[in-house]
Amino acid sequence: MMMDDTLCAICMDIERQNVTSELMDFNVESNLEPEISMDCALYDCIPPELVVNIDSYLSFEDSLHFQECSNYIKCALCSNWCKYDKIQISDDPLDCYIISTKGRVPKRNFLETNLNTVFITCNKIVEVMMIMKDVGSLQRCNADVPQSLKDISLYQANGYLGYLFSKTPQQVVAQLKTVSLHVDIMRDNLRQLCFPCPTQDLLYSIHHLADSHFETFTQISFCSATIQPEDCHLRNMLLNSMEMTLKNIAKYCAKTDFTVDAAEGYADMTVEKGKVEYSFAFFYYNPHICGTDPQSTMEGMDQIDEQLRKISSSSYTTSLGGCFKKRKRPGLPPDLSVAIICGE
């Protein structure tokens, strides 16, 4: 019973410290000294094993507040920060966290607004992963300096990677081994997706990261939930944009590849240079892959197959590297253009 009372007192004090740190007028801090002294005495009586156990349930911010409670607590926990070696950043607040890939310390969530503090505190991070799940308007382009991931657009100058490295201290960059970016965008139809293929993260990678000591992986995908009659023209616009992007990037001696499978409604372009690997893909939602009710899956597959048969029955691949070349699969007419996917 005494242990339960102690834990309750600690939890209440951590919560009070969080509120106090935001609202306290530091001009009256001297009035709190007797209370703080009593709190320190309480914390100093806790076994170090229990301190570690309590801390394992706390977020990054709460753990920092917990360590501010007393020097005893800080000494027991401060060495934990150097055990974190991987960070994930996301536009989903619940998906921003730090972990130890060796499992030496518990996974710990943090607020994206404290990203710079996390990098400074956890100074052994070597792997960074950025995941975008809820991308808003594709056309949004904030003229001001972005303050969070939600202020960024795929078409913003320097893209998501530029934002990431603007928030990363140079001492962390110097020790990085891997950086990865994953952006998955799904819309109801292609009209809501059909913009020029995103190039800002690609250009930033080629110009700033290709010769780095760490590897950079970028995967961006556009997914349309439905197939519409007007998709032929829209998809050709997107394919032309992808082709022109690869032609321009090939000038930088990058290895490029362009694959289109009209029968599946799929297109993919990849770029490799130095330590950089970039991929952009467009595809239609496939319930057979994503997993739904078996009956609805079969019905959905039948509908997709029928629609795609009407659109096209051929597929092709083009490859670019240094200069532009086309590889056509057997059976395709010699005058087939990259822009023609409808078979019309």
* pLDDT tens column, 215-237: 999 999 999 989 888 888 888 88
Q: Which of 102, 72, 65 is nearest to 84 (CA)?
A: 102
Q: Does the pLDDT of residue 210 top 70, yes or no?
A: yes
pLDDT of residue 233: 86
pLDDT of residue 131: 95
Q: Does the pLDDT of residue 28 top 90, yes or no?
A: no
| Rounded-to-integer distance, Cα 343 and Cα 337, Å | 10
For 120-151, b/e burial (b = at least 16 CB within 10 A) is ebbeebbbbbbbbeebeebeeeeeeebeebee
The dihedral formed by the CA atoms of 256, 257, 258 and 263, expressed in degrees to the nearest 10: -170
Query: Which carries the bigger pLDDT value, residue 321 or residue 280?
Result: 280
| Rounded-to-integer distance, Cα 241 and Cα 197, Å | 6
Mean pLDDT of the chain: 77
Which two structure tokens, joined as six digits, stand for 94? Answer: 């619940």
pLDDT of residue 21: 45
Q: Does the pLDDT of residue 75 top 60, yes or no?
A: yes
Ranked by mean pLDDT, the top range of 81-90, 264-273, 305-314 is: 81-90
Lateral strand order in the sheet of 276-284: 108-109, 97-99, 86-90, 127-132, 178-187, 215-224, 276-284, 266-273, 255-261, 316-321, 323-327
Ranked by mean pLDDT, the top range of 66-70, 182-186, 267-271, 305-309 is: 267-271
3-state secondary structure of 179: strand
Q: Does the pLDDT of residue 200 top 60, yes or no?
A: yes
**Percent of the chain scored above 70 by pLDDT?**
68
Q: Tokens 């297109």 label which residue?
A: 267
| Rounded-to-integer distance, Cα 24 and Cα 47, Å | 30
Query: Which carries the bigger pLDDT value, residue 210 or residue 32?
Result: 210
**Percent of the chain scored above 90 by pLDDT?**
44
